[in-house]
């Protein structure tokens, strides 16, 4: 391990929910839940206001609604979040060539490799400046952990939340970890945590005191030895700039079980096309097509077929997924379907099955989930189809009233609140779902031309001044 805290971990605070609050003045300071809003949806992120009611990520949305019935429930806008993420990640890459993104909202940075920090003082200065720059550029807050290892830096950023910075001095790691619950360590899930608790081990300090031999006896050689090393704060993993993509997949959970076999086939085709679109966007092709089916009784079946070479042809993937579906009994209903491609490569073998001489490559059709104007399998003139264009939280533009966002839709009507990130809370109006003056639109940028100063003033009066939560600021761990 290093002898200086030059590994930085950035974790944006309640990222999706905070982005929605920044974009929607009427939601600032209020409970916001982002995720699937149907009966089988799952919470992606909850604002800190919603967390006070017990709402957490990965919780079923139905449970979240019982805990926080008055919260705003919004469908994710991943394109919007990705734009913000790209801006933040570019800022991190200015600090070092070694940036390891873990998701849209968190990443490790090796400050030493970039020459931007060599000791505690310079590392703290970089972390402080980074938080201010992110606030100015996006209007959002992030928490920073600084340590001599990746594991401790990540734990430190979690301890610093929200909107804080925690630097862990080299040599003080064990003192920081000792009183923490064992679940704080990577790889300790509910099952392992329960197993350790039954053995009288609840904290990281107790884990270290148990010794390697006892942990190997309880958990097996690899897991036990690994946990013992983590309890001693040993982590030699380097920051890796590029993480190899092993597979690309998409899946959908349905609000109502699908019983019709034809509908199941259509859904598999649609998922295959979405999967290929992601595959192409990542610059890969793949050899193995995987089908995932979760049935009405929660039993999950996985089938795969390995092709003769890598492909990114939607026709090939769709037909392979269709063949895999024929081997699956969907009697009784299907609640989830997924299609994936693994065995990735950076090149393509065309026309693997010589399907037809002279055939032209099949264009991937627009996806109703990512293109609000795309037509799905429903009748495009049906009220259900028209209503599905207006997802809660998504952006719209009205010919008279300007930009706004969807508060909700149903029974042929759509309710819109007209406001932008730098406006006061806006008025609400209701329209017919087929109103020709109302159209889906791109998001309004959180911060217009120029940067905000850390106190929210500057060339653009963006949402930084309205941040709902003030964090603990900066701290340093000590024995």
Tokens 């959180």 belong to: 446
How far apart are the C-alpha atoms of 375 and 365, rounded to whole Å?
9
Rg for the chain (alpha carbons), in Å? 25
pLDDT in tens, 184-230: 998 888 888 899 999 999 999 999 999 999 999 999 998 899 999 99
Of residues 49, 106, 173, 273, which has the active-site annotation? 106
Compute CA distances 431 → 138, 183, 193, 373, whole Å.
Answer: 32, 49, 52, 17
How large is the average pLDDT for residues 301-315? 90
Q: Enter the DSSP assignment of 70.
A: T
How far apart are the C-alpha atoms of 361 and 316, rounded to whole Å?
10
In what helix (H) or strand (E) does residue 48 lie, and over which residues does it extend? helix 48-51
In what helix (H) or strand (E) does residue 413 lie, and over which residues does it extend? strand 413-418
Q: 138-142, 152-156, 252-256: lowest mean pLDDT where?
A: 252-256
How confident is the model at residue 80, as a pLDDT?
A: 94
Q: Active-site residue 49, yes or no?
A: no
Find all residues with CB under 8 Å of 398, minimum gap 6, and list them: 404, 416, 418, 431, 437, 438
pLDDT in tens, 67-120: 999 999 999 998 999 999 999 999 999 999 999 999 899 999 999 999 999 999
How confident is the model at residue 470, as a pLDDT?
A: 46
Classify strands 247-258 and 334-345 as parallel, antiparallel or unpaired: antiparallel
Q: Is the dihedral of CA 167, 171, 172, 176 positive or negative?
A: positive
Mean per-residue pLDDT over the chain, rounded: 85
pLDDT in tens, 228-264: 999 999 999 999 987 667 889 999 988 889 999 999 9
For helices 78-93 and 120-138, the axis angle rounded to 10 degrees is 150
pTM for the full predicted model = 0.76
């Amino acid at each position: 391990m290093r002898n200086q805290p030059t590994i930085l971990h950035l974790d944006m605070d309640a990222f999706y929910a905070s982005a929605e609050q920044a974009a929607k003045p009427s939601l600032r300071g209020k409970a916001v839940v982002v995720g699937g809003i149907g009966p089988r949806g799952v919470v992606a992120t909850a604002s800190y206001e919603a967390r006070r009611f017990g709402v957490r990520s990965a919780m079923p949305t139905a449970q979240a609604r019982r805990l926080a019935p008055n919260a705003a429930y919004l469908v994710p806008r991943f394109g919007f979040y990705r734009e913000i993420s790209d801006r933040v990640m570019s800022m991190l890459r200015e600090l070092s060539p070694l940036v390891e993104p873990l998701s849209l909202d968190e990443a490790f940075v090796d400050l030493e490799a970039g020459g931007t920090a060599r000791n505690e003082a310079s590392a703290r200065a970089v972390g402080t400046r980074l938080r201010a720059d992110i606030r100015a550029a996006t209007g959002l807050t992030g928490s920073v952990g600084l340590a001599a290892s990746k594991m401790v830096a990540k734990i430190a950023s979690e301890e610093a939340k929200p909107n804080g910075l925690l630097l862990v001095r080299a040599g003080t790691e064990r003192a920081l970890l000792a009183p923490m619950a064992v679940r704080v360590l990577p790889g300790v899930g509910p099952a392992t945590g329960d197993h350790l608790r039954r053995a009288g081990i609840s904290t990281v300090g107790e884990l270290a005191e148990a010794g390697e031999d006892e942990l190997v006896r309880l958990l097996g050689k690899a897991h036990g030895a690994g946990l013992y090393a983590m309890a001693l704060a040993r982590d030699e993993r380097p920051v890796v700039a590029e993480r190899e993509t092993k597979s690309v997949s998409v899946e959908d959970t349905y609000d109502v079980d699908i019983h019709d076999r034809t509908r199941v086939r259509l859904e598999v085709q649609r998922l295959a096309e979405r999967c290929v679109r992601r595959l192409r966007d990542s610059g890969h092709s793949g050899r193995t097509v995987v089908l995932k089916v979760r049935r009405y009784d929660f039993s999950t079946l996985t089938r795969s077929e390995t092709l003769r070479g890598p492909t990114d042809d939607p026709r090939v993937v769709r037909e392979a997924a269709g063949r895999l579906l024929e081997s699956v009994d969907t009697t009784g209903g299907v609640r989830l379907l997924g299609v994936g491609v693994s065995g990735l490569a950076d090149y393509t073998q065309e026309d693997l099955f010589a399907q037809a001489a002279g055939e032209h490559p099949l264009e991937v059709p627009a996806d109703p989930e990512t293109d609000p104007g795309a037509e799905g399998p429903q009748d495009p003139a049906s009220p259900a189809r028209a209503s599905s264009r207006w997802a809660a939280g998504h952006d719209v533009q009205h010919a008279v009233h300007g930009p706004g966002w969807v508060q909700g839709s149903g029974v042929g009507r759509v309710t819109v609140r007209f406001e932008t990130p730098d406006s006061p809370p806006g008025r609400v109006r209701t329209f017919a779902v087929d109103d020709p003056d109302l159209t889906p639109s791109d998001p309004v940028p959180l911060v217009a031309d120029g940067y905000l100063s850390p106190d929210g003033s500057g060339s653009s009066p963006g949402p930084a001044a309205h941040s709902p939560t003030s964090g603990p600021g900066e701290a340093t761990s000590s024995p």
